[in-house]
Chain A
Amino acid sequence: MRDDKSDFLKGTLDMLILKIVALGPIHGYGIALRIQQISNDVFQLQQGSLYPALHKLEKDKLLTAEWKATDTGREAKFYSLTIKGRKHLESEVQNWQRVSGAVSIILSTAE
């Protein structure tokens, strides 16, 4: 039996990650910081779910990763978007906008 609620949230997290990575190669910690920043700390990102999500995206070939030196000189794993990932992101964003648009219409007309 599938748990629809968590799938929904997971999908959202995937989308956020892809969106952030789309701006340029970035490591996991950077992604975590960015999500908190962008969402004004609305998303209290459980670090526990970030890395599984990252690795899943990598495994699905939506992200690629390479080890590179950071500004401080320490090696970190940098993720960047693949072509497949970019396409996936575009369709997800469209999908999201359609759904959220529909939801807000329903919410506003129901008032």
Chain B
Amino acid sequence: MGWDPFAKKAARDRELDAELSFHIDQRIADNIASGMAPDEARRRALMEFSTVDRVKEEVRDLHWETVVEGFYRDLRYTLRTLMKDRRFTPLAVLALALGIGAATVIFSAFYGVILNTFAFKNADQVTAFYIVDQEHPRNTRPNLTLPELVYFREHNHTFQDISGEFGGFGSTPLRTLFGAGTVQFDGAYLSASSFDMFGMTPLLGRLPNENDVKSGATPVFVIGAKLWRETFNSDPSIVGKTFVLNGVPRTLVGIMPPRFRWAWVDAWLPFSLDQNEIANNPELKGQWAYVVGRLKPGATVEQAAADLNLVAHAYARIEPRLYPQRFAVTAKRSSQQAVEGLGFAQLLYPLMYAVGLLLLIACANVANLLLARATVRAREISVRSALGASRGRLLRQFLVESLCLAFAGCLAGCFLAYVGIKVLRPLIPYNQFPQEAVIELDWQVLLFSISMAVLSTVICGMAPALHALRRDIRSGLSGTGASTGTGAAHGKLRSGLVIVEVALSVILLVASGLMMHRFVQVERTDLGINPHGLVFAGLSFPPTIKQTPEQQRLVFERFFNKLRSLPGVTSVSSTVTQPPFAGPGSDITIPGKVHTQRWMTALELCNENYLATLQGRLLRGRFLSETDVVGARRVAVVNQEFVDQYLAGENPIGRTVKFNRFDQVPALKDQFFEIVGVVGNTKNQGMSRPTGPQVYLPHTIMWSGSTKFIARTAVKPEALLPDIRRIVWETDPSVALINATSLDDLLQKYMYATPEFEFITFTTLASIGLLLVLIGIFSVMAYTVALQTHEIGIRMALGAARNKVVAWVLRRGMKLVAFGMLIGLAGSMATNQILASRIQGIQSLDPWAYGSVLVLTLIAGAAACLAPAYRASKVDPLEAIRYE
């Protein structure tokens, strides 16, 4: 037989029934024996037990099953009353859900970006260090020569190992044959023991180690998960294969996990830190490596800095020319170093405070709502108490009610957090986060938010219960809460909460207004071209194969001819720029013009189709012609800004200009270019900065080595990329197509993503803040009205008009709103100064933002007061007074 606690309870209940009926029967018998009529005898006997059931219940209360059962009963009662209360329950749950949801999303982002940046084993041991010139603290050296690194590795006492890296961050393109042609990706050299030091498990294969770099060993490399997926189609069979990377055969031994992005590259080549190798290997000779180390267990960053300081000073005696006069070593956790200077990561700190406050405010709102509810229910509590409900029972019921609310709020909050992160993740600006960081719903974070919400709800739920219970039951029965006073301190606290809510919401709203303004500005910025339907890409020629510039130009032209005839492509031009940024700049000389300032212009080298491809505007004269390009004629087209700055009020057509930069090119030395046309300005210094002077020259005047091209497509640009890659390889399999993407994509990634992301985050938070303000004001005013029903009744009985009552409630509510707004505005001024210093393109004093926020807050405040005000105006004076 299984253990069934309720079976035992049932048995006990039966026993109790038997015992009590014995008592009653016995009393009846005695009563009859003493001469009562049977009916009377029974009646008397039953009267002795005021109610038999109550006795039973009290006996039952002694056992724990009853506690469970009671909880269940309370739960049912709570659910019933909560469901019935259509005003209170959704508001409380919504407030909690918004608070938990927003807090979890931002805390998760904070955790993912700042605290859990790297997925290394024991990531907090991974520490970067650099040498600081104490006389010029801005001069820091984060990299060491390889012999220096070897010395540091051997002579320190605080690191388990120190890793060195060079050639990262896009400076080492690796080319290899794959499939029908050549692919190119970024690589970096990493000291062989680094892989073990970082301690990440490869997705496939193994990590390189020191045996791989011993002399005579087969050279190896590993690639990242992203490259494996995108270029190698996640083919597991490539592990173990040999690839010829830039002419050197290397065996691919492993695929690194997605969160390994050291040096922001896709492939890592191990190198040896053996003294002989360093001295003799031409690849390693003279290299400087960026360093990062893993601390020994228990060692602190400060200890490491002190330790390395000694090591560095010792090495400075060996190689004094590497070191400044006075210097010291500074150490920092790698995760800390990784987020420095990344705008959004920095922005996460203020966001986290904001969202923490939102969570607090959500909790405060629920407390207010619960308090309001408890006051309204003071009578119910008194009645129940008088009918014999024990203090414990009533408290238990309040506890159950709070828990129910907290649970519902958490459930909704989890859902919001889940959706929030799902929506947020694709919006994250790619270049604003450490690439290793991932943002996902973190259960620890969620647990934290939930426990905060549950805790605060329960505390807030119990406080009014205790408060209501502490009052004398009899006064509760005869009067309402108003007369017995719910404490001026409570009232002040509640008003204070509302003021803080309004203030915070104003701060968030103003910030989001600024973000929105900036976002709209960026979005609306006229690039001067039509950015939609453009492919941007480049060709990469093999450095190992002897190819003269002339040969490269021929390949490029062959490719161009094929590209032009590719279905879906409407026009093609070569380029050296990428909107909204210009190409290389040059000082200029215009005959007949004398100037003291430096005259500069940006250069674009292109063909006759450039303007048509980008769909720019021709203002005067003509654009470059085919003859200009084929003949490499010395002609130039300038933009309007060029004319405005250097040839204002003159006819620029026919004027000549010399580009001093070309003086280094023998064929172009002292050549003057004739201006043949003027085109409209196109953004060439980023989205927010004004357009600078720019000239367009035939790309044939020199082979710049730049092989970027731009193509207008009649179809979706991305759809053409595989075809473009194919024709590149058809032209020459040793040429790789690189950085192929659409201009829309580039702009989105680098120009629009950050303002959009910041705008969305702030606006969401601000909307949540505003909603919470609505709930907060509503709950406080509803509470006030409930408390003062009697007073309102008397006033109305004495002749106060209904609209006076409405005005009275509105005035009280708006007073709080006004206070909050004043504080919020002051806070905004301060916060926005910080925001403006961290985020480009934000004016800290934006009247448009401030104005709309004030109006919005006033409207919201008034709206939140209206319902309670209406309720107050509907108070029936007679009823209210009788009620008292």
Decide if B19 is an interface residue (CB 8 Å cutoff). yes
Known A28-B19, A56-B62, A77-B22; judge A48-B27 contact (CB<8 A).
Answer: no
- Interface pair B62/A52, CB less than 8 Å apart: yes
Decide if A96 is an interface residue (CB 8 Å cutoff). no
- Interface pair A29/B55, CB less than 8 Å apart: no
Contact among B18, B22, B49 with A47 in the assembled complex (CB-CB below 8 Å): B49
Decide if B23 is an interface residue (CB 8 Å cutoff). yes
Which residue of chain B is the closest to A32 with respect to CB atoms?
B23
The 0/1 profile, CB within 8 Å of A marked 1, for residues 789-801 of chain B is: 0000000000000
The 0/1 profile, CB within 8 Å of B marked 1, for residues 34-60 of chain A is: 000000000000111001100110010
Decide if A27 is an interface residue (CB 8 Å cutoff). yes
Decide if A15 is an interface residue (CB 8 Å cutoff). no
The 5 closest A-B pairs by CB, nearest first: A52-B58, A29-B26, A29-B23, A47-B48, A55-B59
- Interface pair B59/A77, CB less than 8 Å apart: no
A72 vs chain B, min Cβ distance (A) = 8
- Interface pair A46/B50, CB less than 8 Å apart: yes
The 0/1 profile, CB within 8 Å of A marked 1, for residues 505-542 of chain B is: 00000000000000000000000000000000000000
Decide if A75 is an interface residue (CB 8 Å cutoff). yes
A75 CA to B26 CA, complexed, in Å: 12
A52 CA to B61 CA, complexed, in Å: 9
Decide if A5 is an interface residue (CB 8 Å cutoff). no
Neighbouring A residues of B836 by C-beta, 8 Å: none
A17 CA to B219 CA, complexed, in Å: 93
A56 CA to B54 CA, complexed, in Å: 16
Which residue of chain B is the closest to A30 with respect to CB atoms?
B26
- Interface pair A55/B50, CB less than 8 Å apart: no
- Interface pair B59/A51, CB less than 8 Å apart: yes
- Interface pair A48/B54, CB less than 8 Å apart: yes
- List the interface of chain B (C-beta within 8 A of A): 15-16, 18-20, 22-23, 25-27, 48-50, 54-55, 58-59, 61-63, 391
A105 CA to B130 CA, complexed, in Å: 86
A49 vs chain B, min Cβ distance (A) = 8
Neighbouring A residues of B54 by C-beta, 8 Å: 48
- Interface pair A75/B18, CB less than 8 Å apart: yes
A90 vs chain B, min Cβ distance (A) = 24
Neighbouring B residues of A46 by C-beta, 8 Å: 50
A80 vs chain B, min Cβ distance (A) = 15
Decide if A13 is an interface residue (CB 8 Å cutoff). no
- Interface pair A28/B50, CB less than 8 Å apart: no
A59 CA to B12 CA, complexed, in Å: 12
B43 vs chain A, min Cβ distance (A) = 14
Which residue of chain A is the closest to B26 with respect to CB atoms?
A29
- Interface pair A51/B50, CB less than 8 Å apart: no
- Interface pair B50/A1, CB less than 8 Å apart: no
Decide if A74 is an interface residue (CB 8 Å cutoff). yes
A47 CA to B59 CA, complexed, in Å: 12
Decide if A16 is an interface residue (CB 8 Å cutoff). no
- Interface pair B22/A74, CB less than 8 Å apart: yes
A46 CA to B48 CA, complexed, in Å: 7
- Interface pair B50/A48, CB less than 8 Å apart: yes
How many residue pairs, one in A and one in B, have C-beta atoms under 8 Å apart?
51
Q: Which of A48-97 contact B (CB under 8 A)?
A: 48, 51-52, 55-56, 59, 74-77
Neighbouring A residues of B61 by C-beta, 8 Å: 52
Main secondary structure of the interface of B (DSSP, over half): helix
Known A29-B26, A56-B62; judge A48-B19 contact (CB<8 A).
Answer: no
Neighbouring B residues of A48 by C-beta, 8 Å: 49-50, 54-55, 58
Extra pairs beyond A51-B59, A76-B19, A77-B22 (18, CB < 8 Å): A1-B391, A27-B19, A28-B22, A28-B23, A46-B50, A48-B49, A48-B58, A51-B20, A51-B55, A52-B55, A52-B58, A52-B59, A52-B61, A55-B59, A56-B62, A75-B18, A76-B22, A77-B18
B630 vs chain A, min Cβ distance (A) = 100
Which residue of chain B is the closest to A33 with respect to CB atoms?
B30
Neighbouring B residues of A52 by C-beta, 8 Å: 55, 58-59, 61-62
A63 vs chain B, min Cβ distance (A) = 13
Which residue of chain A is the closest to B27 with respect to CB atoms?
A29
A77 CA to B19 CA, complexed, in Å: 6
Neighbouring B residues of A74 by C-beta, 8 Å: 22, 25
Neighbouring B residues of A76 by C-beta, 8 Å: 19, 22, 26
Neighbouring B residues of A56 by C-beta, 8 Å: 62
Neighbouring A residues of B62 by C-beta, 8 Å: 52, 55-56, 59
Neighbouring B residues of A29 by C-beta, 8 Å: 22-23, 26-27
A47 CA to B706 CA, complexed, in Å: 103
A47 CA to B48 CA, complexed, in Å: 6
Neighbouring A residues of B22 by C-beta, 8 Å: 27-29, 74-77
A47 CA to B26 CA, complexed, in Å: 13
A20 vs chain B, min Cβ distance (A) = 15
A84 CA to B63 CA, complexed, in Å: 21
B50 vs chain A, min Cβ distance (A) = 6
Q: List 22 A-B contacts (CB under 8 A).
A: A1-B391, A27-B19, A27-B22, A27-B23, A28-B22, A28-B23, A29-B26, A47-B48, A48-B49, A48-B55, A51-B16, A51-B19, A51-B20, A51-B23, A52-B61, A55-B59, A59-B63, A74-B22, A76-B19, A76-B26, A77-B15, A77-B22
B693 vs chain A, min Cβ distance (A) = 83
Neighbouring B residues of A47 by C-beta, 8 Å: 23, 48-49, 55
Of residues B19, B50, B61, which shows the largest number of chain A Cβ atoms within 10 Å of its Cβ?
B19
A29 CA to B24 CA, complexed, in Å: 8
A27 CA to B22 CA, complexed, in Å: 9
A52 CA to B388 CA, complexed, in Å: 15
A77 CA to B15 CA, complexed, in Å: 9
Of residues B50, B61, B62, B391, which shows the largest number of chain A Cβ atoms within 10 Å of its Cβ?
B62
A1 CA to B59 CA, complexed, in Å: 21
A46 vs chain B, min Cβ distance (A) = 7
Which residue of chain B is the closest to A74 with respect to CB atoms?
B22
A76 CA to B23 CA, complexed, in Å: 9
A63 CA to B630 CA, complexed, in Å: 115
Which residue of chain A is the closest to B390 with respect to CB atoms?
A3
A47 CA to B61 CA, complexed, in Å: 16
A48 CA to B57 CA, complexed, in Å: 10
A29 CA to B45 CA, complexed, in Å: 11
A47 CA to B54 CA, complexed, in Å: 11
A59 CA to B22 CA, complexed, in Å: 21
Neighbouring B residues of A75 by C-beta, 8 Å: 18, 22
A51 CA to B25 CA, complexed, in Å: 15
Neighbouring B residues of A1 by C-beta, 8 Å: 391
Of residues B49, B50, B55, B63, which shows the largest number of chain A Cβ atoms within 10 Å of its Cβ?
B55
A52 CA to B25 CA, complexed, in Å: 19
Which residue of chain A is the closest to B49 with respect to CB atoms?
A47
A47 CA to B58 CA, complexed, in Å: 12
Neighbouring A residues of B16 by C-beta, 8 Å: 51, 55
A67 vs chain B, min Cβ distance (A) = 8
A48 CA to B18 CA, complexed, in Å: 16
A60 vs chain B, min Cβ distance (A) = 9
A75 CA to B22 CA, complexed, in Å: 8
A13 vs chain B, min Cβ distance (A) = 13
B466 vs chain A, min Cβ distance (A) = 9
A51 CA to B49 CA, complexed, in Å: 10
A46 CA to B388 CA, complexed, in Å: 15
A51 CA to B15 CA, complexed, in Å: 12
Of residues A32, A55, A74, which shows the largest number of chain B Cβ atoms within 10 Å of its Cβ?
A55
Neighbouring A residues of B55 by C-beta, 8 Å: 47-48, 51-52
B79 vs chain A, min Cβ distance (A) = 29
